[in-house]
Amino acid sequence: MFGPRPKLPELPALSVGEVTERVAEHLATLPAEYRHQAVYFDLSATPTRYLEPLQHQLSFVLNHLSRAPTISRPQPVPNCDQRIYWAYQDWYHWTPKAWEQVSQLDPYFREPVVPSGPAVNYVRATAGNAIVRADWFAYWTMDVSLFAEPGQFVAKGVVPYYTLLYAKTKIKRKDPKTGKVVEVVGKAPENIDEFYQVWEADLEVLKRYNNLDKGAVVDEGDSLVSYHNRFIWDIPSRLGTRFFQTFDMIDSVKERDLLETLVPKKWDASEAIAQYPDGRQYYLLLDGAGKRVDWADPRLVRDTGDPHFIVKTPGSCVSCHVQGKHGPSNAVKDLIDSGADLKIKGYEKTERIRSLLLSNMDKNIKRSQEDYADAIKDCNGLSPAENVKEFNIVRGWYDSPLAISQAARECGVTVADMEAAIALGIKGRYIKMLTENKAIPRRNWEQGGFQELSLLLIEARRQRIIK
């Protein structure tokens, strides 16, 4: 179990130039035929107290952006105090194109901050945009909603979670212009049918053998996520484990009252979860029409761990599903156990409902949770509860405003050097950092602040104000 971490000495900061030099040295030691596959994750800007949690979460995130059949932990670059990690793209079934698209979003390892010279030239020529900040990567890949325009529920452009996870995936999709079915590669599912297709939900078998799936009705007030009643569906997958889907309602009346209809005839939102044989889980949020959304309507569901209670793919799913699948209550089974009776016309329909709603889902849930716990242990050695705790700690730390000490650390300099650089600038936000001890929001830092202050540091060196 985790307790208070011992206070460790703070490791010295590394600049992007120093990190690039270490990467170039290591890259040269790899077999020549694989160097173009190498990717690197810089943890050197992370304060020591968050370093171990970030190491754990880097491995967890990488393997949940992967459709590879095995779990692979990133490896520390030697002689770097475990502050730079490396991996091969093939370990996670990524493609060079997908990696380049995602790595170009990183705001830290970019020109003109990365100094020109032999090291950066060698890395770029050999492995392209091979280096990203690990904390940035772990944060931005786990929240698809960050890539949705204001007021829009669907993310656009390069979305790291989808771009990497589905880098090699083939989907058969109808061309809206020609009406012909074409095969697209490297695209995320746009609807539930494509999600079924990608993760091999065996709906054809269900039509022939309708006693293989399990269901449960969670009544209003009994769910940690849904405001109203919801239906949970557990169906087989050709992948060897299970496929889960929830159906959520805007209210619990008329055709949406599941204690009357038993199975949903109309719903307003859905969450789909696919599970690999080794226990890893993958998520998609959907609207009532079965189309993909990337954050959920807050009138329907909530994420109690989010400051705005917004459910977002996949971070909210990871935080909520601590043990993997939830063991749901089943309001229909509870009613039957209390003496109520099913009034359904026809023997076949009655047997179908009994098989679906009154059989034991707990065995499937338990196996699923055991598989998920094994997957997390293989990723980073943690229990599910420990993993979620660190997942939220790392995300909360990264998204918090930066004091001048952390801003200096991320630029690889001392606080005194940062103060000297800020004194050369004219922007009010940086002056407030210097004169009023104000923290800079992470978004401001990423969207120009880091580069601007890095350039001021270059100018301070040019003027010999700092070394």
pLDDT in tens, 375-388: 999 999 999 999 99
- At position 227, the amino acid (one-letter code) is Y
> According to the model, what pLDDT value does residue 208 have?
78
Contact 182, 173 (CB under 8 A): yes
**What is the CB neighbour count within 10 angstroms for residue 233?**
18
Beta strands (DSSP E) in 219-349 are 230-236, 242-248, 269-275, 281-287, 292-293
206 pLDDT above the threshold of 80:
no
Contact present, 52 and 393 (Cβ < 8 Å): no
* Residue located via tokens 């889960």: 244
Identify the residue whose tokens are 């960050």.
Answer: 146
Q: What pLDDT is stored for residue 8 in this prediction?
A: 61
pLDDT in tens, 111-158: 888 888 999 999 999 999 999 999 999 999 999 999 999 889 999 999
pLDDT of 345 reads 66
The pLDDT score that the predictor gives to residue 1 is 34
Residue that the structure tokens 């540091």 belong to:
457
Distance of CA 61 to the CA centre of its chain: 6
- Give the residue carrying structure tokens 């280096």: 131
H/E stretch holding 185: strand 181-185
pLDDT level of residue 327 (50, 70, 90 thresholds): confident
Residue 282 in contact with residue 313, Cβ under 8 Å?
Answer: no
Q: In this predicted structure, what is the pLDDT of residue 328?
A: 80
> Residue 406 and residue 382: Cα distance in Å, rounded?
28
Q: Which of 13-17, 21-25, 204-208 has the lowest mean pLDDT?
A: 204-208
In the numeric block, the tokens 């399990």 are attached to 214
Q: What's the length of the chain?
A: 467
> What digits encode the pLDDT tens for the residues 235-274?
887 777 778 999 999 998 988 988 888 888 889 999 999 9
| Segment 98-106 mean pLDDT | 97
In this structure, what token pair is assigned to residue 187? 């695209």
Does pLDDT of 2 surpass 80? no
Helix, strand, coil shares of the chain, percent, nearest 5, are 45, 15, 40
Give the model's pLDDT for residue 4. Answer: 43
Nearest CA-CA partner of 113 in 459, 422, 463, 426: 459
Q: Is this prediction's pTM over 0.85?
A: yes
292-293 and 170-174 strand pairing:
unpaired
Alpha carbons 124 and 35: distance in angstroms, whole number: 11
Residue 5 has pLDDT above 70, yes or no: no
Residue 53 has a pLDDT of 97
Q: Which of 101, 94, 118, 116 is nearest to 159 (CA)?
A: 101
**Residue in the block written with tokens 């050709």:** 238
Tell me the CB-side half-sphere exposure of residue 164, using CA atoms within 13 A: 24
Q: Regarding beta strands 38-42 and 131-133, do their DSSP bridges make them parallel or antiparallel, or are they unpaired?
A: parallel
Structure token pair of residue 157: 């452009």
Please confirm whether the linkage preceding 6 is cis (ω < 30° from 0). no
Q: What is the DSSP string of 346-410?
A: SHHHHHHHHHHHSS--HHHHHHHHHHHHHHHHHHHS--HHHHHHHHHHHHHHHHSPBPHHHHHHH
The Cα–Cα gap between 136 and 160 comes to 11
Q: At 140, which helix (H) or strand (E)?
A: helix 134-140
What's the pLDDT tens digit per position in 28-69? 999 999 999 999 999 999 999 999 999 999 999 999 999 999
Band of residue 3 on the pLDDT scale cut at 50, 70, 90 = very low
Neighbours of 272 (CB within 10 A): 23
C-beta of residue 326 within 8 angstroms of C-beta of residue 335:
no
146-202 pLDDT, tens digit per residue, is: 999 988 999 999 999 999 999 999 999 988 888 899 999 999 999 999 999 999 887
Chain centre distance of CA 149? 19
Q: Is the pLDDT at 309 greater than 90, yes or no?
A: no
Mean of pLDDT over the chain: 90
- Specify the 3-state DSSP secondary structure of 219: coil
